[in-house]
Amino acid sequence: MAEEDVPLNIDELMMHNLATTITKSCFAEVMLPDQGPVQIDQYTLSNGFMSVDIINYGSTITSIKLPDNYGTLSDIVLGFDDIDGYMSDKNPYFGCTVGRVANRISGASYEHDGFKYFLSKNCGPNTLHGGISGFNKKIWNAEIVNHNSLWMTYCSPHLEEGFPGDLEVCTKYTLTHDNYLVVRICASTNKITPVNMTNHSYFNLAGHETGAKGLFSHKLKINANKYTELDPESLTPTGAILPVRNTLYDITKFTSVGELIKKSENKGIDINYCFAKDSLKTIARLAHAPSGRSLQLYSSHPGVQLYTSNGVENISGKEGVVYEKFGALCLEPQGYPDAVNQKQFPSIWLHPKDIYEHLIVYKFRVEKLADSDSEQQKEDDTEKSVEEAAP
C-alpha cells in the first residue's frame, strides 16, 4: 500500500490544534428586504504561520495567506474585497460552501420512491450547486467553539430550491498549528433528501493576483484511475465511469497545469474523478515550485471535481485584480455529480436519524520553511512510494 493510501487519523490530528487563535470582526453591513440591517462577520483563524479568513455569508473562505520560501505572505485564493462582490451574480462561487447538492443535477429534477421532485434551474435546464439561492447565498450563524474551532450553521427549510425535508447543516473549521485546515461538514434531516456538500475555493499558490501565468507554473496530481464521463452538450454525466489511462485526464503523476490546459486545446478541465469511499485519504496534490508552496488535499468522499476556471472572465476581485480564464483551479471533493439520476453512482441520500458527514482536509506546506527535517523526509518518502505504486 502506498503511503498516500494510508488514511489520515483525524482524531490524532485534531489533538494538535491548540495553538490556533480566532478573532472576529465586522466584514460588512447589508440591508435585506425580509430582515432589515444585518451584519456580516469575518473570522480570522491564525496559527502564527498562516491565516484563514471566513465570512458567514455563504460560509465562505475569503482569504488564505501563506508565506513563500522567503517569508513573503501571499493570498492564495480568489475572492472579493467587499460583500457586494460576494452577493453579485458574477460571483462564481468563490470560496463558499455549496449545497444542498454540489455540481449538476440533470433536468433540474429527480425521482425517488415514486415521487418526482422539481428543482430550481440555474444552469440552463439543470440545477447547479444547490440552485438559484443555494447555501452560498445564505447568512449562516457562527460560533467560536473551545477558542480554536469555528462552527457555522444553517437550517434549510423543506422544499427550499425544491429539495424535500428540513436540513440542519453545520460546517466546522479548524486550523491546526502544523498547517492543516480541517473542514467538517455535517447535516441531518427529517425527510429523505439528497445531500452532497463541499467547499468551492479557487486556488493559485503563486498568489491570487498572478493569473494564468502563475497557475501554469503549478504541478498537479490526482490519485484517481477513473472519471465520470460527461455528455459534451449538457455537461452532465452519461453514467459511464471510464479509466483515465491514455486520456487527457490521466494525472496520476505530477503534471504541469499549463501543459494540461494546452492539451485540452485551451478549453480547460471540468471533470469529476472517482475514488473508493472508505477513508479520509489523500486525493490530490498541488505544488508551486517557484514559491515553495504546496497543498495536499484529503477527503472522505468518493469524488473530486477539477475545474480550471474555464468560465471566469473579467471579474473584479481582491486588491483591484481582474480575474480571467485559467487564473486558478478548484479541487471540489464531493459525491458524484447527478447521483440522484444515476442509480449506479454512490448514493447521496440522507435518511432521517442518519448523519451526513464530509471531512475535507487541506495540508499546506512551504518547502524551505517546513517544520522539520523529518517532515521533509516524510514528504519525500510519500512521493517516492506513490511514484513506485503508480500504474
β-strands 180-189, 356-366: how paired?
antiparallel
Q: Is 184 annotated as a binding residue?
A: no
Q: Looking at this protein, which amino acid is placed at residue 104?
A: R
Quick check: helix, strand or coil at residue 3?
Answer: helix
Q: Is 332 a catalytic residue?
A: yes
Q: In sequence order, what are the beta bridge partners of 54? A: 43, 61
**Cell numbers 520560501 correspond to what residue?**
69
Q: Is 168 a catalytic residue?
A: no
Q: Is 190 annotated as a binding residue?
A: no
CA neighbor of 360 nearest in space, from 245, 192, 205, 201: 201
Q: In sequence order, what are the beta bridge partners of 105? A: 127
Per-position b or e across 99-123, b if 16+ CB within 10 A of its CB: bbbbbbbbbbbbeeeeeebebbbbb
Which grid cell sits at 40? 456580516
CA angle 155, 158, 161 (to 5 degrees): 90
* Distance from C-alpha of 327 to C-alpha of 320, rounded to nearest angstrom: 15
CA angle 188, 192, 197 (to 5 degrees): 55
Q: Is 299 annotated as a binding residue?
A: no
Which of 200, 208, 288, 358 is flagged as catalytic?
A: 200
Quick check: helix, strand or coil at residue 4?
Answer: helix
Quick check: helix, strand or coil at residue 384?
Answer: helix
Which of 4, 209, 332, 379 is flagged as catalytic?
A: 332
* Distance from C-alpha of 134 to C-alpha of 264, rounded to nearest angstrom: 31
Q: Is 202 annotated as a binding residue?
A: yes
Residue 358 neighbours by CB under 8 Å, 6+ apart: 184, 185, 186, 197, 198, 299, 300, 301, 333
* Distance from C-alpha of 53 to C-alpha of 107, rounded to nearest angstrom: 36
* Distance from C-alpha of 259 to C-alpha of 326, rounded to nearest angstrom: 12
In angstroms, what is the C-alpha Rg of the chain?
A: 20
Q: Is 293 annotated as a binding residue?
A: no
* Distance from C-alpha of 62 to C-alpha of 76, rounded to nearest angstrom: 10
Which grid cell sits at 219? 504541478
Q: Is 371 annotated as a binding residue?
A: no
Which segments are annotated as binding site?
A: 103-104, 200-202, 270
Cite the annotated binding site for beta-D-galactose by residue number. Answer: 103-104, 200-202, 270
User: Which residues are the active-site residues?
Assistant: 200, 332
